[in-house]
Homo-oligomer: A and B are copies of this chain.
């Protein structure tokens, strides 16, 4: 045989990267395609949004990570379509790639439950750009509050709403509370950042839905202790410039808040929908494609879906959660299946997710964890979270830097990466300012 088996992997997140690395010594030719040139350590993205870390510290260039792997090439590109009969993926720039095996690990995107207009007022936390936009939004709100003309205006700028009390929502609100209560404490002259209201809103009757109930209760207690107000069992009906409208029971309430962050649901990307269409596969409510027990699409044994885009089930038929562990184990599993096929060996048994547990961090020395069924909370859970996250950050360098950054922050409450950047950002300051002439010039009347 002259020509090598071609494996195309779409996406360099936890799943795609794990698949590529597991194929290191396989007799195949791997092409990893990602829209970005870096692997992002997504679980720490909220720390970029809240000014603790810089984007470079939680990202590793894909080329660098895979440079020693001679059977693998990395390409910058975005998959937009697939022809499963011709075994070919098409990129946005017009290029196309033939595959013998395709590993789709493109993940999901934020869902505003059909209200796409909310996106402009309530950014979500999916990319480095969104994280820096959120950072800008948070820091800028305190700047505007400092220059507000009326107490009402200042209050609206100092009211922060986080919609969705999953792990991301808890992390964001906890960090925001620490920014207001500690980091910025002495930084302003006219406002008191400690008086900022941070409100965590959730539709379900408890925070951290997928966690055991006692840990949910514990998490709520921890985040409340940090100064976050938790409002449960409410439905957001509108988000705009002025704040959030929501339904609690039968009554509709409106909350004036200049900063709203979205930590709600996810849905399939346009490419994910295209893939489902081309392969005539079934999707679940959020657009995740239902896969076989070996993570392939029914009728297409050469197409694997791993990570968040897959609706995979365990032995008991329960769907697997959209977490990094599932993606990584799925990626390695797909690589093992491909290798077995190429080498003519027996395929491994169906994918089994080995659940090591789950954890969510709330703030300094505050976290909850469920490790092999043992429930832990507070300082111990936080130390476990710290340890596990440091171990998993891909690049050795980032690991050291992040560790020191955290150590410093723990001791001083300072946050090194409090930059408001971006051309658009500067413009928005001027626009906001221009439309508020009266308000802004009020600062001179102190």
Residues of A within 8 A of B (CB): 35-38, 51, 53-57, 59, 61, 63-64, 67-68, 73-78, 91-98, 128-129, 139-140, 143, 146-147, 184, 186-190, 395, 397-398, 400-401, 404-405, 408, 412, 414, 416-423, 426, 429-430, 432-434, 436-437, 440-444
Contacts and interface: CB of A to CB of B under 8 A. Distances in A.
Q: Which of A96, A188, A426, A434 has the most CB of B within 10 A?
A: A426
Contact of A401 (B98, B416, B418, B429): B416
B129 A93 contact: no
Contacts of A53: 56
Given A54-B55, A395-B416, A408-B397, A433 B37 contact: no
A63 B401 contact: no
Nearest to A52: B56
Given A54-B55, A56-B417, A94-B440, 4 more contacts: A55-B417, A75-B143, A75-B146, A94-B437
B398 A416 contact: yes
Contacts of A416: 56-57, 395, 397-398, 401
Contact of A93 (B59, B73, B186, B436): B436
Contacts of A440: 91, 93-95
A408 to B, nearest CB: 5
A92 B143 CA distance: 16
A61 B92 CA distance: 39
17 contacts: A35-B426, A37-B143, A54-B56, A54-B57, A56-B416, A56-B418, A67-B187, A73-B189, A76-B140, A76-B420, A77-B433, A91-B440, A94-B436, A97-B443, A98-B444, A129-B422, A397-B416
